[in-house]
């Protein structure tokens, strides 16, 4: 793995994280909680759209195309682009249709927000699609340039909105769409793909190859929405947008870690797919764990710091939400659990085992469905926080179980509770060493 490329990829992801953090911070300070809660609803929906696009387009492209030759890559890219365009049209129409059912109070504002999203969703996911293509071919400098254009424009808009009092939900959503369009155009240029020949490269064989992976990555995305984001929508339609604004403010403190993990996944999956092909499973998981061992201490330090000083930070940045500063602690705990199982998840994707991640998420999603709504109804916002930690903890246990099962199958050993616990602790505490005991 090229350490220089990894460094640039992390810088790229840090830029994305910084822009989202500062934009959310600004909006939480200037918008009424009701309108800011509406922005949290809309932004969460856009994040889910990116997740859907990644599951049926980007991840299959990464997993199949990372080790392909030049001609095969162009054919796979052509077919993936067709799937991307169909996905974008589907999402736009879906937002419009759902908005029709939210035309009356008390959800009228949410319906209007969805109509706005239907306009900008294609360029928004398009920027991420071109970025994933560049990362798959390890053109990280070009990906950094595109994100600098997109995120830099958003950061530059913050003082403009402040000076002319332009901040509103609709204005910011259109801003996200316009800046994403600029990044998508730049990314398309750097890919240098002859789109005029795309139709000639479409083939049933490659579409089937994409589908064989996409059906599992998509099936994996559905329970991810349930266990990872369901609480946002339950709060929105149970407690209202104003309650949702509390979750948005507190979640913003852990956003840097969340985006860091997404960036690592974007880069490490294609890079370790090549390592898996050339050197096998042991070398792959060792490579992944070395990276996580290096960055675990700063990640843990950051989460501990924002938890300890949650009240001070909330009082300094978001005075209106000071009474809910304790929620930052809950989000920090849940985020560290989420971060802890990222190495195992990246390994399973690199080993072309998306089915196992699907099974793990189904387990977490099923339990979340049973517990999340009752928790929110009984405990309000606190119930959503309990659900956030619970669902990520179940997911962590399930993912590491399947990784252990994979190595147990390779070594033809019987799985034991003691062996699973030993393997789990080895990953968390000694990830920088090769797992020489598993051959």
210-231, pLDDT tens digit by residue?
888 888 778 878 888 888 888 8
Q: Where are the alpha helices (DSSP H) in 253-341?
A: 255-279, 281-308, 310-317, 327-340
The length of the chain is 439
Helix axes 33-53, 241-252, angle to 10 degrees: 70
Tens digit of each residue's pLDDT (9 = 90 or more) over 160-180 = 999 999 999 999 999 999 999
Residues of the chain with pLDDT under 50: 412, 430-439
239/385 Cα distance (integer angstroms): 14
DSSP 415: P
Q: In sequence order, what are the residues at sequence separation of 6 or more whose Cβ sits closer than 8 angstroms to the Cβ of residue 430? A: none
Angle between helices 381-411 and 327-340 (to 10 degrees): 10
Spell out the residues 6+ positions from residue 422 whose beta carbon is closer than 8 angstroms to its own. none
Pair 90, 122: CB distance under 8 Å: no
* Cα(184)–Cα(130) distance, integer angstroms: 6
**Residue 190: which residues within 8 A CB-CB, separation 6 or more?**
130, 134, 139, 142, 145, 146
- Distance, in Å, from the CA atom of 233 to the CA atom of 223, rounded to the nearest integer, reads 14
Q: What's the pLDDT score for residue 436? A: 39
Q: Is 43 left (phi over 0), alpha (psi -120 to 50) or beta?
A: alpha
d(Cα 46, Cα 54) in Å, to the nearest integer? 12
- 323 burial level (CB within 10 Å; 0-12, 13-18, 19+): exposed
H helical segments located in 192-280? 198-201, 204-238, 241-252, 255-279
State pLDDT tens for residues 255-298. Answer: 878 777 777 776 788 778 788 888 888 888 888 888 887 788 88
pTM score: 0.82
Of 58, 377, 102, 16, nearest to 218 (Cα)?
58
Orientation of helix 204-238 relative to helix 33-53, angle to 10°: 160
Which pLDDT belongs to residue 437? 41
List Cα–Cα distances, 1 to 14, 68, 128, in angstroms.
20, 17, 23
């Amino acid at each position: 793995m090229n350490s220089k490329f990894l460094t640039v990829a992390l810088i790229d992801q840090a830029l994305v994280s910084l822009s989202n953090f500062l934009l959310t911070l600004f909006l939480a300070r200037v918008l009424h909680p009701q309108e800011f809660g509406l922005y949290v609803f809309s932004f969460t929906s856009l994040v889910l759209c990116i997740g859907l696009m990644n599951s049926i387009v980007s991840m299959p492209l990464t997993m199949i195309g990372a080790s392909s030759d030049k001609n095969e890559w162009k054919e796979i890219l052509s077919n993936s682009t067709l799937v991307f365009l169909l996905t974008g049209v589907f999402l736009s129409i879906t937002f419009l249709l759902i908005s029709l059912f939210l035309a009356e109070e008390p959800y009228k504002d949410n319906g209007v927000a969805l109509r706005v999203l239907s306009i900008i969703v294609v360029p928004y996911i398009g920027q991420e699609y071109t970025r994933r293509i560049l990362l798959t071919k390890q053109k990280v400098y070009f990906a950094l340039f595109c994100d600098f254009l997109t995120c830099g424009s958003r950061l530059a808009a913050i003082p403009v909105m402040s000076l002319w009092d332009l901040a509103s939900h609709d204005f910011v959503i259109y801003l996200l769409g316009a800046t994403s369009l600029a990044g998508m155009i730049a990314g398309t240029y750097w890919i240098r793909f002859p789109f005029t020949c795309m139709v000639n490269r479409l083939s049933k064989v490659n579409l089937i190859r994409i589908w064989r992976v996409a059906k599992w990555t998509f099936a994996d995305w559905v329970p991810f929405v349930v266990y990872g984001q369901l609480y946002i929508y339950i709060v929105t339609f149970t407690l209202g947008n104003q309650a949702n604004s509390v979750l948005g403010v507190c979640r913003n403190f852990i956003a840097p870690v969340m985006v860091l993990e997404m960036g690592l996944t974007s880069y490490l999956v294609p890079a370790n797919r090549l390592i898996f092909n050339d050197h096998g499973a042991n070398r792959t998981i060792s490579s992944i764990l070395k990276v996580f061992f290096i960055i675990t201490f700063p990640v843990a330090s950051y989460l501990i710091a924002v938890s300890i000083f949650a009240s001070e930070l909330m009082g300094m940045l978001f005075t209106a939400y000071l009474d809910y500063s304790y929620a930052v602690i809950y989000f920090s705990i849940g985020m560290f659990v989420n971060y802890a199982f990222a190495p195992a998840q990246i390994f399973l994707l690199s080993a072309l085992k998306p089915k196992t991640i699907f099974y793990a998420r189904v387990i977490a999603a099923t339990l979340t469905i049973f517990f999340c709504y009752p928790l929110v109804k009984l405990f309000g916002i606190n119930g959503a926080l309990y659900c956030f930690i619970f669902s990520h903890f179940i997911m962590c246990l399930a993912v590491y179980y399947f990784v252990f099962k994979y190595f147990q199958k390779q070594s033809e050993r019987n799985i034991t509770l003691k062996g699973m616990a030993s393997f789990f602790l080895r990953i968390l505490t000694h990830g920088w060493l090769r797992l020489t005991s598993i051959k």
